[in-house]
Chains A and B, each alone.
Chain A
Amino acid sequence: MHIVVCVKQVPDTKIIKINPKTNTLDRRSAPAILNPYDAHAVQEAVKITKTIGKGTISVLSMGPPQAVAVIKKSIEIGADRGFLISDRAFAGADTLATSYALSKALERISKDMPVDLIICGKHAIDGDTGQVGPGIARRLDIPPVTNVIEVSELNEGEKTILIKRKITNGYELIQAQVPCLLTVEKEINSIEYSPMPNMIKAARYEPVIWSVNDLEEVDRTQLGLKGSPTIVGKMFTPPKPEGGKRLEGNAEEQVKQLMELLNDKKELFVSR
């Protein structure tokens, strides 16, 4: 069983600040972290290989050289090896160009060791799109299953996997043929403390780094900014609403005015 987990380095959006003068992100204000959903994806791969008692977990990332940090973090969680594709040619990619570059790297990885399962986080917290996972699945022509909350059973003989997929007000139980691609929700597992040997391994680990020249049969027009159909037209602060009227006076007077307003707006309270 060979599982590849796709991971991304993101700024911690809980902390990131906006420069109010320029409306741009002050990236120095936020530390770079492993996308939280991707940490759960790695953890799930660890869980699966533990359950079946064998397997190799590879992690794949695209980004600048410092993105090595998120591969090391994945090794801490329990991945066996890591690959980073890093090249100026990949820069400025939107989701379409990103899924293209990652699918080329996945083809290269699977040449040496066929891939049975690809796991991604549901989305990255810096873009929130969730579009790259399904995009990769399409490019490799394997079925995608998104919003996974449980991997219930993996049947290696039959080459099938049983998955719970979150939907509005419940879940679907899905059987998919392997290989397939899953994107996972946070509730699929909880991140366990890394055992000491993993920490030591991660500290010393140096992932394989590939440039665009290391990938095969690449159509460069589909990479990076050039290969991205979408562009950011403009950034703007949402217009600040003006706010409404204030009800003046003491508490009694305010409540009296409010009661009159509610009476006037009675029709709003009638059920649709």
Chain B
Amino acid sequence: MDEYRGVWVFIEQNDGKIEGVSLELLGAGRKLADKLDVPLSGVLLGYEIKSLCQEVIAYGADQVYVIDHEVMKDYRTESYMKAVINLAEKYKPEIFLYGATSNGKDLASAVATDLSTGLTADTTMLDVEVDKRLLEASRPAFGGNIMATILCKKHRPQMATVRPKVMKALEPDPDRQGEVIEEAITLSEDDMRTKVIKIVKDVTKKVNLADAHVVVAGGKGMGDLQNFQLIHDLADAIGATVGGTRDVVEAGWLPHEQQVGQTGETITPKVYFAIGISGAIQHVVGMKNSEFIIAINKDPDAPIFDVATYGIVGDALEIVPKLIKELKEARERGGEMSYV
């Protein structure tokens, strides 16, 4: 087991663009690698993607293992798995992290089976016990009420998939130096038992909550659909995207794509307004990592105040219209607070 050294991150790219979660994992992986005093490496697969290596290094990697091959153009379990297994058997990392995306989970599950090693799913906290070189991968169990720390003591690499938007990416350093290691693979299209016929992007999805910078979210505390309009009005006034709780979506006030929480989106905007939201754990897991959280609720004991940066105990129906008015006036006074 001692021959296994180093922390690896699978770099997921689609159409030549690196997924956000992979950059977040480079940030998290950097900390683990520094604690263990080993290099951090990215594993980058695809076709005509070598230009992405510098980005992987800029976000914290010391090395990038890259396989650039036509057969790797689109993600497929068979081809990606073979490439990753070959690399892992050759270079023997001790820790190997993947984003908990559809492809990341699919790949990690297949790789773990062939390497006969442990894999922890949907991790939200990562740490390492340095003496034993043991990865401590923690994940919410049963709806997030308890956390369980999963260990893999006797097998290497120790693998985990990590949920998007919970780790923090480092500020990229374009001058950072690293090593690019190109690897070959002997695979041809004829070996493949699956073919990607086409990829269809859903362009009908209008609201992209996941990328929103500022989010105004409302809950059942708004009372009814008519009052919920205030959420939209505030969002307009401040240049934000609208979100809501599961209750609100189930009541039909918002479509499901705007639901924040366990069964909706997990988001980390810079600013999050939680209005008329009590703060059930299922909602909180989807927004608690937002940078600046403002909560408005009638109930002083509402759990949302536990995660809020600033809390206002009061009636949203009274406060929000005043806030909208102030924002509009501030803008008219000459753009000193133009947020959009």
Q: Give chain A's interface residues, CB within 8 Å of chain B.
A: 13, 16, 18, 23, 25, 94-96, 99, 126-135, 137-139, 142-147, 162, 165-177, 180, 228-238, 240-247, 251-252, 254-256, 258-259, 261-263, 265-266, 268-269, 271-272
Give residues in B with beta carbon < 8 Å to A. Answer: 14, 74, 77-78, 81, 101-103, 105-106, 108-110, 112-114, 116-122, 136, 140-155, 193-202, 205, 213-214, 238-239, 270-271, 288, 291-294, 305-315, 318-319, 322-323, 326-327, 330, 336-337, 339
Which of chain A's residues has its CB closest to B197's CB?
A173
**9 contacting pairs across A/B (C-beta < 8 A):** A13-B142, A134-B77, A146-B105, A230-B151, A245-B311, A247-B311, A255-B319, A259-B326, A269-B270
Shortest beta-carbon distance from B64 to chain A in Å: 23
- Set of chain B residues within 8 Å of A256, measured between Cβ atoms: 326
Interfacial chain B residues near A173, Cβ < 8 Å: 196-200
Question: Contact between B153 and A134 (Cβ–Cβ < 8 Å)?
Answer: no
The complex places the Cα of A130 from the Cα of B112 at a distance, in Å, of 13
Contact A233 B198 (CB under 8 A): no
| CB-nearest residue of chain B to A177 | B193
B162 to chain A, nearest CB (A): 13
Most buried by B among A25, A143, A229: A229
Known: A131-B119, A144-B77, A237-B147. A271 touches B213 (CB 8 A): yes
Give Cα A265–Cα B140 distance, bound, in whole angstroms. 32
Q: Among A132, A138, A266, point to the contact of B114 (Cβ < 8 A).
A: A138
Q: How far is the CA of A183 from the CA of B198 in the complex (A)?
A: 20
Interchain CB contact under 8 A, B326 and A255 = yes
- Chain B residues near A165 (CB-CB < 8 A): 102
Given A237-B146, A268-B271, A258 contacting B294 (CB threshold 8 A): yes
Contact indicator B200/A170 (Cβ below 8 Å): yes
Q: Distance in Å from the Cβ of B233 to the closest Cβ of chain A?
A: 15
* Measured CA separation A179–B305 after assembly (Å): 53
For B106, the chain A residues whose CB sits under 8 A away are 134, 144, 146-147
Least Cβ–Cβ distance between B107 and chain A, in angstroms? 8
Q: What is the distance, in angstroms, from B289's C-beta to the closest C-beta of chain A?
A: 11
Instruction: State how many angstroms separate the Cβ of A60 from the closest Cβ of chain B.
Output: 18
CA distance A55 to B254 in the complex (A): 42
CB <8 Å contact, A235 and B146: yes
Among candidates B77, B202, B322, residue contacting A170 with C-beta atoms closer than 8 Å: B202
Q: Do residues A170 and B270 form an inter-chain contact, with CB atoms below 8 A?
A: no
- 7 tightest Cβ-Cβ pairs between the two chains A and B: A229-B118, A129-B121, A134-B109, A230-B118, A138-B113, A229-B155, A233-B149
Q: A168-B102, A244-B311, A251-B315 are in contact. Are A229 and B117 (CB under 8 A)?
A: yes
Instruction: Check if B322 sits within 8 Å of A255, measured CB to CB.
Output: yes
Closest chain B residue to A183, Cβ basis: B106
- B116, B117, B144, B309: the one contacting A244 at CB < 8 Å is B309
